Amino acid sequence: MTAYSDLAAHFGRIAALSNAVGILQWDNDVMMPRGAAETRAESMALLHVMRHGMVTDARIGDWLDEASQDRSLSEWEQANLREIRRVWTVETALPAALVEASSKAVSACEMRWRQARAEADFAGLLPYLAEVLNLQRQIGAAKGEKLGLSAYDALLNDYEPGGSSAKIDALFDDLAAFLPGFTQEAMAVQARRPALAPLEGPFATETQRALGLRLMAALGYDFERGRLDISTHPFCGGADNDARITTRYDEADFTKALMGVLHETGHALYEQGRPQAYLNQPVGAARGMSIHESQSLLMEMQACRSRAFLDFAAPLMRESFGGSGPAWESTAMWHRYTRVEPGFIRVDADEVTYPAHVILRYRLEKALIADAMPLADLPAAWNEGMKSLLGVTVPNDRLGCLQDIHWPSGGWGYFPTYTLGAMTAAQIFEAACQAEPGTLPGIAKGDFTPLVGWLRANIHGKGSLLSTDALLTEATGKPLDAGVFKAHLRRRYVDES
């Protein structure tokens, strides 16, 4: 055995444990009865502590030092060493007691969030969320001290390795200046269209599910390695070779759940396309959440809200629900799916207003981690930000600061990756269309093979071999360029309309 093979075997066992945690977390969010919450929290906390102990094993430092001298390692093995060192450095910053306390606090807060959201009761969630925030501050401070980063950037690093709030601030300030005026311009263009005729429901959940499954198959989802279920908050989770997705249905409106399914399918395609040879190693993991979000938003926003896709999908929608009349024609569906309208809910937001939702959350979580505002002031600050960025008045906390599970689940530092992902999606899709001329013609026929094949070769199959910047540059010819995203928005919502 060599030091590298010892490391690979050790992290293979860590991956197996992480897979078990992933399935338990999926069950927690989808099927677990409320009465099992306390027992599950204890089990999850123990597993998190066990995993932390394995990642911080005292032998890893010696193995890394010895393996780094091995000149026979391949490019992938060298990159795996780099990723192992990154993970090990971060994890050794945390004491086991803090990991356990955070896991228990998150489990309790997630369960209370479900009730608080249903009842629009932020006050009821406040003590639970305060404990999660307190522990996230401690985690951020501990990691930041080890990495030489601010507490917030240390938390961000978990989701976007190499990312920084300074870079994000510049990108988001630019978008925040651009979006309000452009939103009004896009809405003025669509106001000149004929009014959209309503889609008459109800739309049975089972019929929505069947249509979602049909379109998942068209995108290339492998049902032998995943499944579709219902949850309070749509997500993609599970384990290696088990990429499970969820959605939520509204029998008065099938359009939201359908796009939610296609969004999560984009995540799952990335998971299903990761390099099998390194699936249980850090180098085989997805390359950060901005790339992950780019894959879901590429499928939902770039591909499945395109004219080409709706020429294919509109007849299937009409057939599934027995629709008839102008509202079911492909042009009407394209207008419906590209309608710009500021609203309260992030996951239901259109492509133009979505970044504003994320910018607000990013600014708030950064202030909360820095203790620059009291947590009790979150609803008021949220509502003020929604008014400023989107021009809407939030009627209650269910439609406001309680709508997302990220903060109750400990996902502090995650939110900016959504809009980084949207910008990345536009750039990757543009590159795919240029490199693979069959992309749009394929989409128009419901054939995603050219697109997914290009993504497999240039994004999915790369795992964490490259940094985010290097991956994007290799795939598209340049690092992240916000101008590509703004140009895409102008083409779709002004020029093509």
Please give the backbone phi and psi of residue 280, each rounded to the nearest 5 degrees, phi first.
Answer: -100, 20
Do residues 476 and 430 lie in contact, with contact meaning Cβ atoms separated by under 8 Å? yes
What SS3 state is found at 133? helix
Q: Are 91 and 52 in contact (CB under 8 A)?
A: yes
Print burial letters for 411-437: b (CB count within 10 Å at least 16), e (below 16).
bbbbbbbbbbbbbbbbbbbbbbbeebe
Residues 6+ apart with CB under 8 A from 93: 142, 143, 145, 146, 147
Residues 236, 239, 241: CA angle, nearest 5 degrees: 100
Catalytic residue among 91, 264, 300, 365: 264
Asked if 220 and 448 count as a contact pair (C-beta separation under 8 A), the reply is yes
Residue 30 near residue 229 (C-beta atoms within 8 A): yes
Peptide bond into 202 cis (omega under 30): yes
Residue 165's closest CA among 319, 370, 394?
370
77 included as an active-site residue: no
Catalytic residues: 264
